[in-house]
Amino acid sequence: MRQLPLSVRLHDRALFASYLPGPNAQVLAQLAGLAAQPRAGFWWLCGPAGSGKTHLLQALCAAAGQGAQYVPLSELAPYGPAALAEWQGARWACLDEAAVVIGKRDWETALFSVYRDCEERGACLVIAAREIPPQLAFALPDLASRCAAGLRLTLRALGELEQLAALQLRAQQRGFELPDETARYLQRRLPRDMRSLFAVLDELDAAALAAQRRLTVPFIRDVLARP
């Protein structure tokens, strides 16, 4: 494959082991099973923002190993639909943020080519979006019907207690403990989606490391109050 200007790197913490299953244990098990024993097919991964679609796609690529490609379509957009041809021939193709290109005929034509390439070679294709296919305004009926016929994997948002456990799991993997009181403080003060919570937790960890402080509520209050 030719080297694109786009450099897609997997997040080193995006692993199956770092994803708190919560209500999504079945989807997690299905994807982990696919990574362990790949088989030809097409899967549509959907769920609300912050439910872990990107995490699971990257975890799938990390577990599947060589030949697995993670493609964030929003980052690919500046290169035009022809850039999708770079991923034809991949053993695994994991396309994220599909809604960014659905409805654009040229992009859908390129996406359909990836679909047909995977189908003909017996490769694995996973496409992720917040919506299920019938909720998207496809420009190509053939692509719409193929996507609607794919095996659907639906994620659900974590509840309050599950969010707390996910924050503590993230902290544990970063090498520190996050007391319940501190985690609940973050939940009260920040948007209740895991992407936002994880991003702030990572920033707080870096600030605590620089200041040689523990992540206590007073310290977090001071950091969040900074411009």
The pLDDT tens digits of the residues spanning 76-129 come to 888 899 988 887 788 889 999 999 999 999 999 999 999 999 999 999 999 999
Whole domain around residue 108: which residue ranges?
16-154
Which residue among 114, 132, 154 closes a domain? 154
In a domain, 95, yes or no: yes
pLDDT at 6: 47
The CATH number assigned to the domain holding 100 equals 3.40.50.300
pLDDT at 8: 53
CB burial of residue 165 (10 Å; 0-12, 13-18, 19+): middle
The tokens of 201 are what? 């937790």
Clarify whether residues 27 and 109 are in a common domain.
yes
Structure confidence at residue 11 as a pLDDT band (50, 70, 90): low
Question: Could you give the CA distance from residue 191 to residue 185 in angstroms, rounded to a whole number?
Answer: 12
> Of 43-47, 137-141, 147-151, 184-188, which range is least confident?
184-188
In a domain, 1, yes or no: no
3-class SS at 39? coil
For the chain, how many structural domains are there in total?
Answer: 2
Element (H, E) at 124: strand 124-129
Which residue among 154, 181, 200 closes a domain? 154
Residue with tokens 């786009």: 6
Structure confidence at residue 4 as a pLDDT band (50, 70, 90): very low
Taking residues 146-161, report their average pLDDT.
95
How many Cα neighbours within 13 Å face the side chain of 121? 17
Clarify whether residues 126 and 168 are in a common domain.
no
Residue with tokens 């001071």: 222
Q: Let me know: does 182 contact 220? Beta carbons within 8 Å.
A: yes
Give strand pairing partners of 42: 125
Percentage of the chain exceeding pLDDT 90: 56
| Close Cβ partners of 188 (under 8 Å, ≥ 6 residues apart) | none
3-class SS at 46? strand
pTM confidence score:
0.85
Give strand pairing partners of 94: 70, 126
pLDDT at 38: 85
**Residue 172 gets which letter from DSSP?**
H
